A and B are shown apart, each in its own frame.
Chain A
Amino acid sequence: MIPEFGHYALILALCIAIIQGILPLVGAHQGRREWLMLARPAAQTVFFLLAIAFAILTWSFYINDFSVLYVAEHSNTQLPVVYRIGAVWGGHEGSLLLWVLLLSTWTFLVAQLSKALDEFMVARVIGVLGLVITGLLLFVLMTSNPFERLFPAAQDGRSLNPLLQDPGLVFHPPMLYMGYVGFSVAFAFAIASLLSGRLDAAWARWSRPWTTAAWVFLTLGIALGSWWAYYELGWGGWWFWDPVENASFIPWLVGTALLHSLAVTEKRGGFKSWTVLLAITAFSLSLLGTFLVRSGVLTSVHAFATDPKRGIFILVFLSLVVGSSLVLYAWRAPKSSLGGKFSISSRETLILLGNVFLVVSAASVLLGTLYPLLIDALHLGKISVGPPYFNSVFVPIMIPLLVLMGIGPWANWKNTNLLAVIKRLWIAGVVAVCAGIFIPMAMGSFTWLSSLGFLLAFWVIASGCMQIIRQAKTGKPTRSFIGMQIAHLGIAVFVIGVTMVGGYQEEKDVRMLAGESVSVGGYQIMLENVSAVPGPNYNAMRGTFLLMRNGKLEATLYPEKRSYFSSSMPMTEAAIDVGLTRDVYVSLGEELPDKAWAVRVYYKPFVDWIWGGCLLMALGGILAISDKRYRIKLRQAST
């Protein structure tokens, strides 16, 4: 009975979402206040109903109700409770439900936090979000109902893919989706302002914190996914340019461009139509990402079982949402006024240039991701695009971007003397060049690529430090200034991590007997023994390794090779000794004849800086949102 309530809640949510999507928009157009006023209660009700549906699905997993098809397919009696909860979004139907739930969560938050905003604007924003929710709920109910029953009920479920049985599953998808879906708010603000014809600085000021919030979630979500892949997949890599990773990274790049462009629109009233276009694009790319993942047009580690009906539905939905937005854009954007004039050498120009690099990089990643599909559609054959393409295309675009990051924040709005700025930055230049020369030498081998990495990272850091000193002299810096500096510092930290791992990691594949040791990066790793250890729903072979430096024990590591009862594929659980300046990573391979084991060890210098950098970026974003200027404006707007 309970699952039927969930199904019913979904249907009811769809009905209310239709109201939320139509009446406020029509009301705003015709000036009917009573229809406008429906926006908030409708958004709240949809959120409430979807939360109930989601809670019921979670409950069905919790009690292992195998009469629900989706539960039977993704859970079984031996699955630990925490993964049963994670399994709610471990498959297609549940992850879509999570998508819609988060979308309505954002809508709910907009409804709650927009008291100070113009009623017409709020109604339009909530209305646009209502239309998107309607489309997705139709998709869920028509092609992917998570509450579908299975009669007679299964004795036991099929269980979750062992790859997904990891704490990463509990946090990564909700965080990533929160970011992905969060761009819908910026999108809705953009559409609402196009509809009203009020493309002004106020619109930018309102959508800016929302966009930053979505960007923070997306940054954290991508970082979590990368970290999960790093420790779970056992390949020691942190980014694979997999189509689904790209599907989240492309909106991130465009979202980053949008953040900066919104700053110009807010402060200077410029780039209006460009900013609107970016807001539409960021969300469209999130939808496109969903299409790519859900339709199975591309093969990927993330692909779920695919169904052509679903693919067609999402494609139609994507065409409607993005197509109508772009028609609206083509119709209304030309009417927007130009912002304040600025000269070629100004902060506006530098931000625009940065935007161009970000958008070009996003386009090149998108091209690489879709290329196999394009070639196939043109009957030119079938190909697979691998990391070599992405690395050779993406990295060169990032070089000028990092150079710009050191200069941009120094430039004034409207007009600036770039020559004077560059002259002032000579100290940062010297620091960067020294870092580029001496760090690779200190690490033991000089390559141009790692030299360039350090040079750019220290350029950004030194320039940032100089700005902080300058700002501290003139008065208390604002939170959004500190936020920007921390986020930029995060990029530099990230670049250092990538450069260190790329240039100086060591890896060894060895055949080991108990008592033998292998040395990597100045550490000795000794295999003590390998023993059988039973788990809740698997059997594991667990190795005990002693990590030693100069004969002193630093840590004991326990990598495992697991075979899950529900799957024939063995899983590798790597063991990692985490450190600020290095990770030591041990993974247990195949059992070889004569009681020997294949063992793979990595020494990865500064690898945690990659995710540390992402954390700093997110922290910077959070600080920027908390800037008091938004609160003041909020109060001003309400009086």
Chain B
Amino acid sequence: MKAKFLIPLILFVVLIGFLAVGLNRDPHEVPSPLINKLAPAFNLPQLADSQKMFSPQSMRGQVWVLNVWASWCVACREEHPVLVEMGKLQIAPIIGLDYKDQRDDALTMLSSQGNPYLLSAFDADGRVGINYGVYGVPETYVIDKEGIIRFKHIGPLTMDLLNQRIFPLLSQLKKS
């Protein structure tokens, strides 16, 4: 048996190893070092109007939700109806961070699938995303009145998650 004929087998075994580990990992659970830290500051143009800027400081005194999304991200499309529902309930303002996207594509997605956001900041080169430690889109942050990140979720939001964790947290933060 010549060694080079074993290469495909070895590659395959490695691949299977990864797939096996992947099966046992919840694709949506990641700890964040940013919990209970001040949300990183930024100043970005808004998606709908590049003349206007948005900065998290302007949200001081409010409990709000930051949702990182992009039109190229499939999981975001999956999540979108949940966000639209959440927007209708008006529990807290949702600010979008449109991550490494094309402005036109992003606007199309919002016009065709509904716009749950108070506004979206347009992070064309993903620099703000880096400061927030964005691993994968979509991501969602709950930020309190002092501008401190209280909760972070990676992956699409679900109605269950909203009802069980995020809504209670929002109402608790609003009271304090």
Q: Which of A's residues lie within 8 Å of B, judged by CB?
A: 234-236, 240, 242-243, 273, 277, 280-281, 284, 291, 295, 297-301, 308, 311-312, 315, 318-319, 322-323, 326-327, 329-331, 333-334, 370, 372-374, 376-377, 381-384, 386-388, 507, 509, 568-570, 572, 587, 589-590, 598, 600
Contact = CB atoms under 8 A, between A and B. Distances in A.
B139 to A, nearest CB: 9
Nearest to A370: B18
A297 B23 contact: yes
A503 to B, nearest CB: 15
Contacts of A388: 72, 100
A402 to B, nearest CB: 26
Given A329-B8, A386-B73, A507-B104, A299 B78 contact: yes
B4 to A, nearest CB: 9
B13 A323 contact: yes
Contacts of B27: 297-299, 372, 376, 382
A318 B15 CA distance: 11
Nearest to B21: A377
Contact of B70 (A374, A386, A568, A572): A386
Contacts of B161: none
B13, B85, B111, most chain A CB atoms within 10 A: B111
Contacts of B105: 235
B100 A299 contact: no
Contacts of B90: none
B165 to A, nearest CB: 18
B12 A323 contact: yes
Contacts of A312: 23
A333 B5 contact: yes
B5 A329 contact: yes
A105 to B, nearest CB: 28
Contacts of B154: 382
B72 A387 contact: yes
Contact of B5 (A240, A300, A330): A330
Interface string B89-108: 00000000000100011011
B18 A374 contact: yes
A386 to B, nearest CB: 4
B19 A242 contact: no
A330 B9 contact: yes
A569 B1 contact: no
A509 B156 contact: no
A598 B25 contact: no
Contact of B22 (A280, A376, A384, A589): A376
Contacts of B85: 568
A235 B108 contact: yes
Nearest to A284: B12
A376 B25 CA distance: 8
Main secondary structure of the interface of A (DSSP, over half): helix
Contacts of A298: 27
A333 B70 CA distance: 47
Interface in B11-36: 12-13, 15-16, 18-23, 25, 27-28, 30
Given A240-B72, A323-B9, A315 B19 contact: yes
B9 A327 contact: yes
B137 interface: yes
Contact of A382 (B9, B72, B135): B135
Nearest to A298: B27
A273 B156 contact: no
A318 B23 contact: no
B112 interface: yes
A149 to B, nearest CB: 28
Given A382-B136, A383-B135, A377 B22 contact: yes
Interface string B41-52: 000000000000
Contacts of A384: 73, 75, 136-137
A414 B15 CA distance: 37
B109 interface: yes
Contacts of A295: 23
Contacts of A322: 12
Nearest to B101: A386
B31 to A, nearest CB: 10
12 contacts: A235-B105, A281-B8, A312-B23, A315-B23, A318-B16, A329-B5, A331-B1, A374-B18, A381-B135, A507-B104, A509-B107, A587-B112
B56 interface: no
A51 B136 CA distance: 43
A382 B154 CA distance: 8
4 closest residue pairs by CB, A with B: A589-B111, A377-B21, A326-B9, A382-B135
A509 B108 contact: yes
Contacts of B136: 372, 381-384
Nearest to A297: B22
A235 B71 CA distance: 10
A298 B85 CA distance: 25
Nearest to B111: A589
A373 B17 CA distance: 11
A326 B15 CA distance: 13
B38 interface: no
B114 interface: yes
B2 interface: yes
Contacts of A236: 108
B40 interface: no
A234 B13 CA distance: 41
Contact of B18 (A234, A301, A377, A383): A377
Contacts of B100: 386, 388
B6 A242 contact: no
Nearest to B75: A299
Interface string B128-141: 00000001110000
Contacts of A587: 112
A123 to B, nearest CB: 26
Interface string B111-151: 11111000000000000000000011100000000000000
B174 interface: no
Given A242-B74, A386-B72, A507-B108, 7 more contacts: A273-B5, A277-B8, A299-B78, A315-B16, A330-B1, A330-B5, A509-B104
B115 to A, nearest CB: 8
Nearest to A303: B78
A301 B1 contact: no
A600 B112 contact: yes
A319 B72 contact: no
Contacts of B6: 330
